[in-house]
Copies of this chain bind each other. A is one copy, B any other.
Protein backbone atom coordinates (compact mmCIF):
# COMPACT_ATOMS: atom_id res chain seq x y z
CA UNK A 1 0.00 0.00 0.00
CA UNK A 2 1.39 3.40 -0.96
CA UNK A 3 0.14 6.99 -1.08
CA UNK A 4 -0.06 8.37 -4.62
CA UNK A 5 -0.04 12.02 -5.67
CA UNK A 6 -1.77 12.51 -9.01
CA UNK A 7 -1.97 15.65 -11.17
CA UNK A 8 -5.09 15.81 -13.30
CA UNK A 9 -6.49 18.08 -16.01
CA UNK A 10 -10.17 18.38 -16.81
CA UNK A 11 -12.54 20.20 -19.10
CA UNK A 12 -15.09 21.44 -16.57
CA UNK A 13 -17.86 22.08 -19.12
CA UNK A 14 -19.81 18.92 -18.42
CA UNK A 15 -19.17 18.74 -14.66
CA UNK A 16 -21.09 20.11 -11.70
CA UNK A 17 -17.72 21.01 -10.20
CA UNK A 18 -15.01 18.91 -8.62
CA UNK A 19 -16.60 17.79 -5.37
CA UNK A 20 -18.76 14.67 -5.24
CA UNK A 21 -22.45 15.41 -4.58
CA UNK A 22 -25.74 13.57 -4.57
CA UNK A 23 -26.93 14.71 -7.98
CA UNK A 24 -24.86 15.71 -10.94
CA UNK A 25 -21.70 14.50 -12.62
CA UNK A 26 -18.53 15.50 -10.74
CA UNK A 27 -14.80 15.09 -11.32
CA UNK A 28 -14.31 13.48 -7.92
CA UNK A 29 -17.00 10.84 -8.53
CA UNK A 30 -15.49 9.95 -11.93
CA UNK A 31 -12.00 9.64 -10.40
CA UNK A 32 -13.27 7.51 -7.53
CA UNK A 33 -15.22 5.24 -9.82
CA UNK A 34 -12.10 4.70 -11.99
CA UNK A 35 -10.00 3.99 -8.87
CA UNK A 36 -12.53 1.45 -7.59
CA UNK A 37 -11.96 -0.55 -10.77
CA UNK A 38 -8.32 -0.74 -9.60
CA UNK A 39 -9.54 -2.14 -6.27
CA UNK A 40 -9.15 1.15 -4.37
CA UNK A 41 -10.58 0.76 -0.86
CA UNK A 42 -10.83 4.23 0.72
CA UNK A 43 -14.08 6.16 1.12
CA UNK A 44 -12.86 9.44 -0.42
CA UNK A 45 -9.78 10.68 -2.21
CA UNK A 46 -8.05 13.85 -1.03
CA UNK A 47 -7.78 16.92 -3.27
CA UNK A 48 -5.99 20.27 -3.29
CA UNK A 49 -9.35 22.00 -3.39
CA UNK A 50 -12.74 22.17 -5.03
CA UNK A 51 -13.41 23.91 -8.29
CA UNK A 52 -16.85 25.31 -9.10
CA UNK A 53 -19.24 23.98 -11.69
CA UNK A 54 -17.82 24.73 -15.14
CA UNK A 55 -14.29 25.62 -13.96
CA UNK A 56 -11.42 23.76 -15.68
CA UNK A 57 -8.09 22.44 -14.40
CA UNK A 58 -4.68 21.80 -15.90
CA UNK A 59 -3.05 20.95 -12.59
CA UNK A 60 -5.51 19.83 -9.94
CA UNK A 61 -3.83 17.48 -7.45
CA UNK A 62 -5.43 14.50 -5.72
CA UNK A 63 -4.03 11.82 -3.40
CA UNK A 64 -5.14 8.34 -2.39
CA UNK A 65 -3.79 5.11 -0.94
CA UNK A 66 -3.65 2.17 -3.28
CA UNK A 67 -2.23 -1.31 -3.35
CA UNK A 68 -0.67 -1.13 -6.83
CA UNK A 69 2.00 -3.70 -7.69
CA UNK A 70 3.17 -1.94 -10.89
CA UNK A 71 4.98 1.29 -11.75
CA UNK A 72 3.58 4.83 -11.44
CA UNK A 73 3.71 5.05 -15.26
CA UNK A 74 1.47 1.99 -15.43
CA UNK A 75 -0.92 3.55 -12.90
CA UNK A 76 -1.15 6.67 -15.07
CA UNK A 77 -1.95 4.56 -18.12
CA UNK A 78 -4.53 2.47 -16.25
CA UNK A 79 -6.30 5.58 -14.89
CA UNK A 80 -6.30 7.30 -18.29
CA UNK A 81 -7.76 4.15 -19.81
CA UNK A 82 -10.58 4.07 -17.26
CA UNK A 83 -11.41 7.80 -17.08
CA UNK A 84 -13.79 9.63 -19.44
CA UNK A 85 -12.21 11.80 -22.13
CA UNK A 86 -12.82 15.08 -20.26
CA UNK A 87 -10.47 14.04 -17.41
CA UNK A 88 -6.79 13.28 -18.05
CA UNK A 89 -4.10 12.16 -15.61
CA UNK A 90 -0.98 14.27 -16.30
CA UNK A 91 1.45 12.88 -13.72
CA UNK A 92 1.61 10.25 -10.97
CA UNK A 93 4.19 9.96 -8.21
CA UNK A 94 4.48 8.34 -4.80
CA UNK A 95 4.02 10.76 -1.91
CA UNK A 96 5.39 10.69 1.62
CA UNK A 97 3.07 9.28 4.30
CA UNK A 98 0.93 12.11 5.63
CA UNK A 99 0.98 14.15 2.42
CA UNK A 100 -2.28 16.08 2.07
CA UNK A 101 -2.71 17.88 -1.27
CA UNK A 102 -4.73 20.69 0.34
CA UNK A 103 -2.71 21.44 3.47
CA UNK A 104 0.71 20.87 1.89
CA UNK A 105 0.06 23.42 -0.88
CA UNK A 106 2.40 26.45 -0.77
CA UNK A 107 0.46 28.28 -3.49
CA UNK A 108 -2.28 27.92 -6.07
CA UNK A 109 -2.09 29.43 -9.56
CA UNK A 110 -5.27 30.26 -11.43
CA UNK A 111 -5.49 31.56 -15.01
CA UNK A 112 -8.46 33.42 -16.43
CA UNK A 113 -8.86 33.62 -20.23
CA UNK A 114 -10.64 36.37 -22.15
CA UNK A 115 -11.02 36.99 -25.86
CA UNK A 116 -12.10 40.21 -27.52
CA UNK A 117 -14.71 39.92 -30.25
CA UNK A 118 -18.08 41.39 -31.10
CA UNK A 119 -19.37 37.92 -32.02
CA UNK A 120 -18.96 34.46 -30.52
CA UNK A 121 -16.10 32.31 -31.85
CA UNK A 122 -16.90 28.62 -31.29
CA UNK A 123 -13.19 27.75 -31.14
CA UNK A 124 -12.77 29.98 -28.08
CA UNK A 125 -16.14 29.89 -26.34
CA UNK A 126 -15.37 26.75 -24.35
CA UNK A 127 -12.39 28.13 -22.40
CA UNK A 128 -12.72 31.93 -22.61
CA UNK A 129 -15.00 34.76 -21.58
CA UNK A 130 -15.92 36.92 -24.61
CA UNK A 131 -15.55 40.66 -23.92
CA UNK A 132 -16.27 43.54 -26.31
CA UNK A 133 -15.04 46.17 -27.02
CA UNK A 134 -11.35 45.54 -26.34
CA UNK A 135 -10.02 46.57 -22.95
CA UNK A 136 -7.24 48.91 -21.93
CA UNK A 137 -5.03 46.30 -20.32
CA UNK A 138 -3.04 49.08 -18.59
CA UNK A 139 -6.01 49.81 -16.33
CA UNK A 140 -6.52 46.15 -15.45
CA UNK A 141 -2.80 45.85 -14.82
CA UNK A 142 -2.85 48.85 -12.45
CA UNK A 143 -5.85 47.25 -10.76
CA UNK A 144 -3.76 44.14 -10.04
CA UNK A 145 -1.44 46.18 -7.84
CA UNK A 146 -4.40 46.94 -5.53
CA UNK A 147 -4.99 43.26 -4.86
CA UNK A 148 -1.41 42.13 -4.25
CA UNK A 149 -0.43 41.61 -0.62
CA UNK A 150 -2.51 40.74 2.43
CA UNK A 151 -6.05 42.15 2.53
CA UNK A 152 -9.46 41.41 3.90
CA UNK A 153 -11.23 40.07 0.81
CA UNK A 154 -14.71 39.69 2.32
CA UNK A 155 -16.20 41.77 -0.54
CA UNK A 156 -14.69 39.29 -3.02
CA UNK A 157 -15.82 35.92 -1.77
CA UNK A 158 -16.86 33.67 1.06
CA UNK A 159 -14.77 31.79 3.57
CA UNK A 160 -15.41 28.06 3.96
CA UNK A 161 -17.22 28.74 7.28
CA UNK A 162 -19.09 31.85 8.32
CA UNK A 163 -16.80 32.60 11.24
CA UNK A 164 -13.47 31.89 9.59
CA UNK A 165 -11.17 34.75 8.60
CA UNK A 166 -11.49 36.46 5.19
CA UNK A 167 -7.90 37.72 5.01
CA UNK A 168 -5.90 36.29 2.14
CA UNK A 169 -2.48 37.12 0.68
CA UNK A 170 -2.17 37.57 -3.07
CA UNK A 171 1.44 36.75 -3.99
CA UNK A 172 1.09 37.99 -7.57
CA UNK A 173 -1.55 39.07 -10.07
CA UNK A 174 -0.88 39.96 -13.69
CA UNK A 175 -2.48 40.38 -17.09
CA UNK A 176 -0.84 39.36 -20.35
CA UNK A 177 -2.16 40.09 -23.81
CA UNK A 178 -1.40 38.03 -26.91
CA UNK A 179 0.70 39.70 -29.66
CA UNK A 180 -2.37 40.18 -31.91
CA UNK A 181 -4.26 41.83 -29.05
CA UNK A 182 -7.21 39.45 -29.35
CA UNK A 183 -6.82 37.52 -26.11
CA UNK A 184 -5.97 38.44 -22.52
CA UNK A 185 -4.81 36.15 -19.76
CA UNK A 186 -4.98 36.88 -16.04
CA UNK A 187 -2.73 34.93 -13.68
CA UNK A 188 -3.08 35.07 -9.92
CA UNK A 189 -1.18 33.26 -7.19
CA UNK A 190 -2.09 32.83 -3.52
CA UNK A 191 -1.72 30.18 -0.85
CA UNK A 192 -5.50 30.07 -0.65
CA UNK A 193 -8.51 31.90 -2.06
CA UNK A 194 -12.01 32.57 -0.80
CA UNK A 195 -14.91 30.91 -2.60
CA UNK A 196 -15.57 32.72 -5.96
CA UNK A 197 -12.68 35.13 -5.27
CA UNK A 198 -10.79 34.80 -8.59
CA UNK A 199 -13.91 35.20 -10.73
CA UNK A 200 -15.00 38.17 -8.63
CA UNK A 201 -11.60 39.89 -8.98
CA UNK A 202 -11.61 39.31 -12.76
CA UNK A 203 -15.13 40.71 -12.95
CA UNK A 204 -14.33 43.99 -11.19
CA UNK A 205 -11.05 44.43 -13.11
CA UNK A 206 -12.83 43.93 -16.45
CA UNK A 207 -15.51 46.40 -15.39
CA UNK A 208 -12.72 48.86 -14.47
CA UNK A 209 -11.20 48.31 -17.93
CA UNK A 210 -14.61 49.19 -19.37
CA UNK A 211 -14.70 52.38 -17.23
CA UNK A 212 -17.76 51.08 -15.41
CA UNK A 213 -15.98 50.82 -12.06
CA UNK A 214 -13.32 53.21 -10.79
CA UNK A 215 -9.99 51.86 -9.52
CA UNK A 216 -10.42 54.14 -6.48
CA UNK A 217 -13.65 52.37 -5.65
CA UNK A 218 -11.91 49.02 -5.88
CA UNK A 219 -9.21 50.29 -3.55
CA UNK A 220 -11.82 51.54 -1.07
CA UNK A 221 -13.51 48.18 -1.27
CA UNK A 222 -10.25 46.37 -0.44
CA UNK A 223 -9.23 48.78 2.32
CA UNK A 224 -12.58 49.56 3.92
CA UNK A 225 -14.75 46.72 2.58
CA UNK A 226 -17.08 49.23 0.94
CA UNK A 227 -19.51 47.82 -1.60
CA UNK A 228 -18.85 47.14 -5.28
CA UNK A 229 -21.35 46.10 -7.97
CA UNK A 230 -22.15 42.38 -7.68
CA UNK A 231 -21.08 40.02 -10.44
CA UNK A 232 -18.81 37.13 -11.35
CA UNK A 233 -16.74 36.41 -14.45
CA UNK A 234 -18.15 33.25 -16.10
CA UNK A 235 -16.80 29.92 -14.82
CA UNK A 236 -15.78 28.71 -18.30
CA UNK A 237 -12.84 31.16 -18.53
CA UNK A 238 -11.22 29.95 -15.29
CA UNK A 239 -8.50 27.30 -15.14
CA UNK A 240 -6.77 25.92 -12.04
CA UNK A 241 -3.28 26.00 -13.54
CA UNK A 242 -1.09 24.44 -10.87
CA UNK A 243 -0.64 23.71 -7.18
CA UNK A 244 2.79 24.51 -5.83
CA UNK A 245 4.24 22.33 -3.05
Residues of A within 8 A of B (CB): 9-11, 56, 58, 76, 80, 85-90, 117, 119-123, 125-127, 239
- Chain B residues with CB below 8 A from A56, complex form: 123
A-B contact pairs, 23 of them (CB 8 A): A9-B122, A9-B123, A10-B122, A11-B123, A56-B123, A58-B121, A76-B119, A80-B119, A80-B120, A85-B120, A85-B122, A85-B125, A87-B122, A88-B119, A88-B120, A88-B121, A88-B122, A88-B125, A89-B119, A90-B117, A90-B119, A90-B121, A123-B127
Q: Least Cβ distance of A87 to chain B in Å?
A: 6
- Kindly name the residue among A11, A87, A119, A121 whose own CB sees the greatest number of chain B CB atoms within 10 A: A119
- Chain B residues with CB below 8 A from A85, complex form: 120, 122, 125
Report copies per complex. 2
Nearest neighbor of A130 in chain B, beta-carbon distance: B88
Nearest neighbor of A124 in chain B, beta-carbon distance: B9
Q: How many angstroms from the CA of A80 to the CA of B86 in the assembled complex? A: 27
- Chain B residues with CB below 8 A from A76, complex form: 119
- Chain B residues with CB below 8 A from A58, complex form: 121, 123
Nearest neighbor of A88 in chain B, beta-carbon distance: B120
- Chain B residues with CB below 8 A from A80, complex form: 119-120
Nearest neighbor of A73 in chain B, beta-carbon distance: B118
Extra inter-chain contacts (15) besides given A9-B122, A90-B119, CB under 8 Å: A9-B121, A9-B123, A11-B126, A58-B121, A58-B123, A76-B119, A80-B120, A87-B122, A88-B119, A88-B122, A88-B125, A89-B119, A90-B121, A123-B127, A123-B239
Q: Least Cβ distance of A140 to chain B in Å?
A: 22
Q: Least Cβ distance of A14 to chain B in Å?
A: 10
- Chain B residues with CB below 8 A from A90, complex form: 117, 119, 121
Q: How many angstroms from the CA of A126 to the CA of B125 in the assembled complex? A: 12
- Chain B residues with CB below 8 A from A89, complex form: 119
